[in-house]
């Protein structure tokens, strides 16, 4: 009979010590487990910091402090893929330029939870793998913010802004923002040992900035335009986005009761759930806008051009991949060697 041995799970003080390159500054050759993998308020459920790829996959089927993180983004990935397939059967994505921004948005909506699920699954293969996994996670989130700009620019602009200067440059500016977001969030892993608060501020700012930019049209509609069905969906999206940010910054509830929420209910799991719910309501609102405003928008704007639409998305994808590659290549040369990114409590 075939039997599968599941990987060993550790409490925080049992996590095997990991040898690091100490770099030019005097430092111990080994760092304590808490300095490497301890998450604020999480006392148990840790995986081995040098797991094999198979062990990482198997660990997603046992209860660790990452299991719910993995599944709360892996399952929604397939929900969004299903929505994309259903919509592709009723909308002509190939020959109808009006729906091209929606297609790009949907593809990037599918990408970001999948990248996050993979990051949480394979981040314990090594210190370098941990950094690379989260670099890719940050890049996928940056591209998702660009996808939001594609959708909002095509379907959600306030009536009086349609065809204006902000409308014309909204998506190109969002593409530039995606480079800033990926670069800043990847860089934020480098000063974590010496300046953990600065690292947290940089990473938070890297995602708050594109969020605020993307939602300028929604803020205007919320304040100055009549509320409709689409706007109600956007309000739910904004509410869950605020909850997501609060959970990311506060590390509640595990900070109040260390060890009580190691496996179920800690902030990162709740953060994932809120992010997915927010994206669901955003998708519904975008579809309502795209359907209800189609005739009006097509009478005032030319159809999206292929080079401008898919070209911008393609360049953004290549640019973000290049940024991730550059930061990955820089890891061994960073001060402190592989100490870079040895997280302060609560780092992800």
**313 belongs to a structural domain:** yes
**58 belongs to a structural domain:** no
Query: How many domains are contained in the chain?
Result: 1
What predicted TM-score, i.e. pTM, was given to this entire model?
0.90
| Region of poorest pLDDT, from 33-37, 79-83, 294-298 | 33-37
**204 belongs to a structural domain:** yes
pLDDT at 335 over 70: no
**267 belongs to a structural domain:** yes
Q: What is the pLDDT of residue 3?
A: 65
**27 belongs to a structural domain:** no
Strands 18-19 and 30-31: antiparallel
| Region of poorest pLDDT, from 45-59, 79-93, 307-321, 330-344 | 330-344
**135 belongs to a structural domain:** yes
Two tokens, residue 34: 């808490």
DSSP labels, 49-67: TT--HHHHHHHTTS--TTH
Q: How far apart are CA 339 and CA 21, in angstroms?
A: 7
**22 belongs to a structural domain:** no
Q: What is the pLDDT of residue 17?
A: 66
pLDDT at 175 over 80: yes
Q: What is the pLDDT of residue 13?
A: 82
pLDDT at 334 over 70: no
**11 belongs to a structural domain:** no
**CATH number of the domain to which 196 belongs:** 1.20.1070
Residue with tokens 């049992």, as numbered in its chain: 14
pLDDT at 242 over 60: yes
Q: What is the pLDDT of residues 207-241, one digit of tens each?
A: 999 999 999 999 999 999 888 889 999 999 999 99
pLDDT at 30 over 50: no
Give Rg (Cα) of the chain.
21
DSSP labels, 155-216: IIS-GGGTTSHHHHHHHHHHHHHHHHHHHHHHHTTTTTTT-HHHHHHHHHHHHHHHHHHHTH
Helical (H) or strand (E) element with 18: strand 18-19
Instruction: Note down the domain range covering 223.
Output: 66-339
Q: What is the pLDDT of residues 261-273, one digit of tens each?
A: 999 999 999 999 9
**Proportion of the chain above pLDDT 90, given as a percent:** 72
Q: What is the pLDDT of residue 273?
A: 98
């Amino acid at each position: 009979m075939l039997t599968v041995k599941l990987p060993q799970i550790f409490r925080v003080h049992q996590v095997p010590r990991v040898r690091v390159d100490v770099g030019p500054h005097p430092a111990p050759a080994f760092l304590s487990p808490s300095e490497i993998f301890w998450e604020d308020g999480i006392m148990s459920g840790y995986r081995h910091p040098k797991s094999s790829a198979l062990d990482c996959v198997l660990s997603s089927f046992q209860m660790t402090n990452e299991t719910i993180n993995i599944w709360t983004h892996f399952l929604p990935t397939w929900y969004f893929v299903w929505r994309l397939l259903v919509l592709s059967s009723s909308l002509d994505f190939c020959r109808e330029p009006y729906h091209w921004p929606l297609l790009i948005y949907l593809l990037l909506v599918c990408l970001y939870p999948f990248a996050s699920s993979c990051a949480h699954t394979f981040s314990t293969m090594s210190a370098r793998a941990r950094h690379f996994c989260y670099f890719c996670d940050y890049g996928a989130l940056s591209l998702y913010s660009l996808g939001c700009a594609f959708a909002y620019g095509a379907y959600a602009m306030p009536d009086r802004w349609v065809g204006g200067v902000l409308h014309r440059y909204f998506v190109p500016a969002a593409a530039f923002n995606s480079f800033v977001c990926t670069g800043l969030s990847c860089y934020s892993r480098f000063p974590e040992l010496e300046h953990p608060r600065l690292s947290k501020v940089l990473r938070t700012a890297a995602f708050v900035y594109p969020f605020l930019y993307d939602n300028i049209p929604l803020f205007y509609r919320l304040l100055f335009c009549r509320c409709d069905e689409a706007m109600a969906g956007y309000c739910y999206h904004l509410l869950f986005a605020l909850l997501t940010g609060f959970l990311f910054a506060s590390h509640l509830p595990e900070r109040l009761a260390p060890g009580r929420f190691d496996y179920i209910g800690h902030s990162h799991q709740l953060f994932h759930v809120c992010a997915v719910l927010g994206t669901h309501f955003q998708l519904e609102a975008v579809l309502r806008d795209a359907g209800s405003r189609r005739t009006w928008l097509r009478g005032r704007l030319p159809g999206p051009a292929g080079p401008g639409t898919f070209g911008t998305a393609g360049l953004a994808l290549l640019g973000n991949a290049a940024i991730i590659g550059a930061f990955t290549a820089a890891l061994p040369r960073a001060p402190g060697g592989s100490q870079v990114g040895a997280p302060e409590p609560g780092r992800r």
